[in-house]
Amino acid sequence: VFRIFRAFRFLTKVQMLRNVVVALFSVVPAIAAITVLLLLILYIFSVMYTQLFKNFFEEGYTTVNYFGRLDLTLFSLFQIMCLDEWSGIAYEVGEQDYWAWLIFIIFVVMSAFVVVNLIIAVICDALQILRKAERAMLFGLSEDEAGEWEAKDNNSNEQVQTEEGRIQQRINDMHRMLDEVVASQEKMHRTIQYLSIVVNSQETKNLSSGSKVMQ
């Protein structure tokens, strides 16, 4: 059964996956600190929810015993943190205590939005540091020099994109001018055709009137 873990060898074969794993291991202390903060928030709110709503299931206010014991409250709060049908739980509790929605929203904002985004920010920062280290090893620079070089590279890329945008704008202007020239040429062509028709009709009339006079 444990042979399936050999599939993790695939991580060492792909450079991008290996970089992600290295970045994750490099931010383990920061993630551990954020995890401790999350556990502290879960414990505080678990005690609060258990004290406030532990009798709701026995009194028939909720269909499931969400907050009867501390362990049940922890599981329910983990479900709410994952945003898994948390609004249904909030509505059931809010039917009895109208002010309960405020506690639910505070917990969702602190756990699902703030803490989870902190973890994502730490991982992104680790990937950025890993990228600087790779540039430093590749070009023989220090990390500070690699960071400065990367900033210059980003600025040059922005300048190139700006120049490309200007060139594209000029091309679009030229296309618009060509369209206007083609439209004006078409109008001139139609005008010339109309004038030629008028001139031909006038010559035909002159020829017909001259033949009548000669007769």
Q: Is 56 exposed, middle or buried (0-12, 13-18, 19+ CB in 10 A)?
A: buried
Distance, in Å, from the CA atom of 71 to the CA atom of 76, rounded to the nearest integer, reads 9
pLDDT averaged per 10 residues, the chain (length 215)? 71 71 78 89 93 88 90 92 87 88 91 85 79 64 53 56 74 78 76 74 69 57
pLDDT at 51: 92
Q: Is 102 exposed, middle or buried (0-12, 13-18, 19+ CB in 10 A)?
A: exposed
Cβ atoms 53, 82 nearer than 8 A: no
Distance, in Å, from the CA atom of 64 to the CA atom of 190, rounded to the nearest integer, reads 81
Q: What is the pTM of this model?
A: 0.56
pLDDT at 73: 93
pLDDT at 159: 59
